[in-house]
């Protein structure tokens, strides 16, 4: 299928990239403030306690655009407590009304009061024995930050559906879950024992959350309370309410381990038939491909859900936000320009890929977010390859390169809640595809992807740990390659020269010690360049046609000082 509307899509995509670069968290700040450090660092007020469970209750007022709520945090005391205070994150203008410690009302003593500092509340608590467990409950209210252009500029979303009925949800990745409920707002600490989400809404609306519906309770006053339970650890920003005129339909999927995975879909009532067609077509093929490549779906206990949203989409664990308008591609267009992206619904495939990379494997610091987005973008490639073949997957990933800007590195600043470049999607996917070529063994590569999801199952980790795992399991030192593509904006340049019947070659524009092997299209020959010039005689295969670098490597090629795709055969070749 040919790529349609290319110029219109390019304009739209560039607009989104430009817009997202101005929004939290992709905005590359020139300076960082104390608020950035409070949010992005595990400081003394955060390091002494480990979140075990969140019990979140929220009641929104659609007309007033306000919420009231209570969040109870179960936690365990860790050894080495160095502060009398606990830092709780709750973003302005939301206000704390009262606090309860271990179920008892917390009295604010003048000698050592709890106090507010921007988006943080500092709460003094009695020191407790390491290993002991406690609860702190925060009752709060206010008018939460409203999303301007979700999901890129996040917050609480108050909108209406096509029939002018209230439709509400939250999109807060990067901006942070503390935009609507109090928590330890840092990716490194997920609740070990999951969470419950209690949503009270007017009787005419339906409230959907992550995990499984535990209880639906009419209150007899025109409202109904919906209680959802999540069994597994979950990222703070993934816990969200969806509120609207939803209807539900269900299915099931028998996974590779012969487990039964429940599939639940919550969509606006007037989109029911569209959803049955679109979801019915793409979800099971997606699960089949991803379980093949990555291993078992990570959250069988919580099920798999797609929930229709007013924004484009987000990887809310076990309750993926879907807003692609039941179109193929990305809002009807192909990000790769290859045509393959128009054969499936982009949001279903991409956001579901995050269940493995982002939700199962989570980075401690948002600076390493490329692990979420690069691997998930590559999941699209693997989905295409699984269903349409290797050539199709290669064409898809190569097409993504036109969206790479190479203005800032993929890894951001640590400790200040700052992501790296938006190139983490397309460049991250092409880095992984390049590494796959170097490994040169697709079964081993698949084993590594599956191994990552076992090694870091339901864990938080770092980019460095992921990089080290891939190097170890591949048997190749890939550290300089990761440094090149993740920590610089330089694309390595393979310099080629035809000199007296010899091919001279070296890497330029690269980090010290960069020595990536590269495959030629000439009968699968390999070169092993370093930053120093090497030379080899033209082989018979090279003399038959121009020396071409395999396009699956994301590199540049310079021939005698000019950038080309290949070097011509030497004079007289083929005679």
pLDDT band at 110 (very low <50, low <70, confident <90, very high): confident
What are the strands, taking DSSP E only, across 350-501? 361-363, 459-461, 493-499
**Confidence (pLDDT) at 569:** 64
**Confidence (pLDDT) at 297:** 97
**Confidence (pLDDT) at 322:** 98
Stretch 12-23: mean pLDDT: 39
Instruction: Give the rounded distance of the alpha carbon of 215 from its chain centre.
Output: 30
Strand partners, 261: 253
Could you tell me what percent of the chain has a pLDDT over 90?
Answer: 86
**What pLDDT digit, counting tens, does each position of 512-555 carry?**
999 999 999 878 899 999 999 999 998 888 887 888 899 999 99
Instruction: Decide yes or no: CATH 2.60.40.1730 for domain 46-244.
Output: yes
Instruction: Give the rounded distance of the alpha carbon of 447 from its chain centre.
Output: 22
**Confidence (pLDDT) at 451:** 98
**Confidence (pLDDT) at 107:** 86
Stretch 419-434: mean pLDDT: 98
Residue 16 has pLDDT above 50, yes or no: no
Distance between CA 2 and CA 470 in Å, rounded?
Answer: 36
Collapse the DSSP code of 24 into the 3-class scheme (helix H, G, I; strand E, B; otherwise coil) and give the result. Answer: coil
pLDDT band at 6 (very low <50, low <70, confident <90, very high): very low
Tokens of 299: 């959250």
SS3 readout for 126-174 = CCCCCCCEEEEEEEEEECCCECCECCCECEEEEEECCCCCEEEEEECCC
Q: Which of 533, 538, 535, 534 is nearest to 522 (CA)?
A: 538
Collapse the DSSP code of 64 into the 3-class scheme (helix H, G, I; strand E, B; otherwise coil) and give the result. Answer: coil
Q: At what angle do helices 442-455 and 463-474 cross, to 10 degrees?
A: 140
Collapse the DSSP code of 287 into the 3-class scheme (helix H, G, I; strand E, B; otherwise coil) and give the result. Answer: helix
**Confidence (pLDDT) at 565:** 55
Q: Which of 502, 462, 452, 505 is nearest to 482 (CA)?
A: 462
Tokens of 48: 């002494």
> One fold for both 6-22+340-487 and 46-244?
no
Number of other residues whose CB lies within 10 A of the CB of residue 252? 12
**Confidence (pLDDT) at 379:** 98
Q: Which of 504, 510, 502 is nearest to 556 (CA)?
A: 510
Q: Are 55 and 71 in contact (CB under 8 A)?
A: yes
Q: Are 142 and 106 in contact (CB under 8 A)?
A: no
**What pLDDT digit, counting tens, does each position of 27-41 carry?**
667 799 999 999 999
Instruction: Give the rounded distance of the alpha carbon of 432 from its chain centre.
Output: 15
Q: At what angle do helices 370-388 and 346-353 cross, to 10 degrees?
A: 130
Distance between CA 532 and CA 406 in Å, rounded?
Answer: 25
- The full set of domain ranges for the chain reads 6-22+340-487, 46-244, 493-567
**Confidence (pLDDT) at 313:** 97
Tokens of 69: 């709520």
What are the strands, taking DSSP E only, across 78-129? 85-89, 95-101, 104-105, 115-117, 120-124
Its sign, for the CA torsion 482, 483, 485, 487, is positive
Q: Which of 410, 401, 388, 393 is nearest to 565 (CA)?
A: 401
pLDDT band at 501 (very low <50, low <70, confident <90, very high): confident
**What pLDDT digit, counting tens, does each position of 441-465 carry?**
999 999 999 999 999 999 999 999 9
Stretch 70-98: mean pLDDT: 97
**What pLDDT digit, counting tens, does each position of 219-272 carry?**
999 999 999 999 999 999 999 999 999 999 999 999 988 889 999 999 999 999
Collapse the DSSP code of 285 into the 3-class scheme (helix H, G, I; strand E, B; otherwise coil) and give the result. Answer: helix
The C-alpha angle 367, 357, 253, rounded to 5 degrees, equals 160
Distance between CA 269 and CA 490 in Å, rounded?
Answer: 50
**Confidence (pLDDT) at 570:** 63
**What pLDDT digit, counting tens, does each position of 144-188 carry?**
999 999 998 999 999 999 999 999 999 999 999 999 999 999 999
* Mean pLDDT, the chain, whole residue set: 93
pLDDT band at 508 (very low <50, low <70, confident <90, very high): very high
Instruction: Give the rounded distance of the alpha carbon of 66 from its chain centre.
Output: 29
Instruction: Decide yes or no: CATH 3.20.20.120 for domain 6-22+340-487.
Output: no
Stretch 426-433: mean pLDDT: 98
Q: Are 240 and 210 in contact (CB under 8 A)?
A: yes
**What pLDDT digit, counting tens, does each position of 396-412 carry?**
999 999 999 999 999 99
**Confidence (pLDDT) at 112:** 86
**Confidence (pLDDT) at 499:** 80
Residue 125 has pLDDT above 50, yes or no: yes
Please state the pTM of the whole predicted model: 0.94
**Confidence (pLDDT) at 540:** 83
Stretch 285-294: mean pLDDT: 98
Number of other residues whose CB lies within 10 A of the CB of residue 221? 9
Cα 421 to Cα 59, 283, 339, 355, 373: the distances in Å are 36, 30, 26, 22, 11
pLDDT band at 573 (very low <50, low <70, confident <90, very high): low
Determine how β-strand 320-322 pairs with β-strand 304-308. Answer: parallel
Stretch 384-401: mean pLDDT: 98
Distance between CA 300 and CA 318 in Å, rounded?
Answer: 9
Could you tell me what percent of the chain has a pLDDT over 70?
Answer: 93
Q: Which of 144, 165, 161, 27 is nearest to 95 (CA)?
A: 144
Number of other residues whose CB lies within 10 A of the CB of residue 333? 22
**What pLDDT digit, counting tens, does each position of 184-229 carry?**
999 999 999 999 999 999 999 999 999 999 999 999 999 999 999 9
């Amino acid at each position: 299928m040919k790529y349609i509307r290319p110029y219109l899509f390019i304009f739209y995509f560039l607009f989104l990239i430009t817009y997202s670069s101005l929004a939290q968290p992709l905005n590359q700040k020139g300076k960082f403030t104390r608020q950035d450090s409070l949010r992005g660092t595990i400081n003394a007020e955060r390091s002494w306690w480990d979140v075990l469970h969140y019990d979140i209750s929220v009641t929104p007022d659609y007309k007033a655009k306000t919420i009231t709520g209570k969040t109870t945090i179960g936690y365990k005391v860790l050894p080495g407590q160095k502060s009398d205070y606990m830092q709780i994150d709750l973003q302005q203008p939301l206000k704390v009304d009262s606090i309860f410690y271990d179920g008892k009302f917390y009295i604010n003593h003048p000698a050592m009061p709890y106090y507010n500092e921007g988006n943080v509340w500092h709460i003094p608590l009695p020191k407790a024995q390491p290993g002991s467990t406690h609860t702190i409950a925060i009752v709060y209210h206010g008018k939460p930050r409203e999303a301007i252009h979700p999901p890129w500029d996040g917050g609480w979303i108050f909108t209406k559906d096509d029939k002018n009925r209230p439709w509400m949800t939250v999109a807060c990745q990067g901006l942070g879950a503390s935009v609507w409920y109090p928590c330890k707002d840092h990716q490194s600490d997920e609740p070990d024992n999951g969470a419950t989400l209690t949503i009270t809404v007017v009787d005419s609306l339906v409230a959907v959350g992550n995990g499984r519906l535990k209880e639906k309770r009419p209150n007899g006053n025109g409202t109904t309370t919906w209680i959802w339970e999540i069994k597994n650890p979950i990222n703070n920003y993934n816990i969200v309410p969806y509120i609207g005129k939803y209807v539900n339909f269900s299915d099931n999927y028998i996974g590779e381990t012969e487990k039964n995975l429940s599939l639940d879909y919550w969509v606006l009532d007037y989109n029911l038939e569209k959803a049955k067609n679109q979801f019915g077509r793409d979800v099971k093929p997606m699960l089949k491909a991803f379980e093949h490549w990555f291993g078992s779906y990570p959250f069988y206990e919580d099920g798999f859900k797609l929930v229709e949203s007013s924004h484009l989409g987000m990887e809310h664990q076990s309750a993926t936000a879907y807003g692609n308008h039941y179109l193929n591609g990305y809002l009807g267009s192909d990000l790769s320009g290859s045509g393959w992206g128009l054969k499936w619904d982009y949001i279903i495939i991409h956001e579901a890929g995050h269940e493995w990379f982002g939700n199962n494997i989570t980075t401690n610091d948002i600076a390493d977010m490329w692990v979420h987005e690069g691997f998930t973008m590559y999941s699209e490639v693997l989905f295409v390859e699984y269903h349409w073949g290797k050539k199709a997957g290669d064409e898809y990933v190569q097409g993504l390169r036109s969206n790479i800007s190479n203005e800032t590195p993929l890894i951001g600043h640590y400790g200040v809640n700052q992501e790296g470049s938006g190139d983490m999607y397309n460049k991250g996917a092409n880095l992984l595809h390049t590494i796959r070529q170097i490994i040169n063994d697709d079964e081993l590569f698949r084993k590594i992807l599956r191994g990552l999801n076992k090694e870091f199952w339901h864990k938080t980790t770092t980019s460095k740990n992921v990089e080290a795992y891939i190097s170890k399991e591949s048997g190749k030192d890939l550290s300089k390659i990761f440094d090149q593509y993740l920590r610089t904006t330089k694309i390595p340049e393979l310099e080629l020269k035809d000199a007296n019947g010899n091919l001279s070659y070296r890497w330029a524009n690269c980090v010290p010690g960069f020595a990536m092997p590269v495959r030629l299209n000439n009968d699968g020959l390999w070169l092993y360049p370093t930053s120093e010039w090497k030379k080899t005689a033209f082989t018979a295969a090279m003399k038959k046609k121009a020396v071409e670098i395999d396009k699956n490597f994301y590199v540049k090629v310079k021939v005698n000082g000019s950038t080309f795709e290949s070097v011509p055969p030497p004079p007289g070749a083929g005679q």
